Amino acid sequence: QVQLVEIGGGSVQAGGSLRLSCEASGDTYSLGCMGWFRQAPGKEREGVARIYRGDPTTYYTNSVKGRFTISQDNAKNTLYLEMHLLKPEDTAMYYCAAAKAACNWSARWYSYWGQGTQVTVSS
């Protein structure tokens, strides 16, 4: 089993920045891919960014490219999401997720989820 705990989030004005962290514990050696999802009220959960463990290649949904950066520190079993130039439409609950093997933008590929952290961007 793997446990994920998100840290960070909060409220910021448009154009501001935030950093999210996700600390993983448990059987982290079994993980192949980690990612960040978000879900706004009344909307479906969407993939924001993902990264394979041990591989620097990163993937972003189009709406955050150039503004968000996903990174990982495998020694600390921690995943990060740096968010810059935040927009009101970035407002959502952000979730850290982990998959045992390959992953894509579908939430069904991920076996483990954090509890979520709220990001609110005001105009």
Strands 10-13 and 18-26: unpaired
The pLDDT assigned to 36 comes to 98
φ, ψ dihedrals at 66, nearest 5°: 85, -10
d(C-alpha 24, C-alpha 27), whole Å: 9
The pLDDT assigned to 102 comes to 81
Closest CA to 115 of 1, 2, 4: 4
Q: Is 9 helix (H, G, I), strand (E, B) or coil?
A: coil
The pLDDT assigned to 5 comes to 97
d(C-alpha 78, C-alpha 74), whole Å: 6
The pLDDT assigned to 43 comes to 95
Q: Which two tokens stand for residue 91?
A: 């407002």
Q: Which residues of the chain have pLDDT under 70?
A: none
The pLDDT assigned to 54 comes to 79
pLDDT, tens digit, 9 for 90 and up, residues 88-122: 999 999 999 999 988 888 999 999 999 999 999 99
The pLDDT assigned to 103 comes to 86
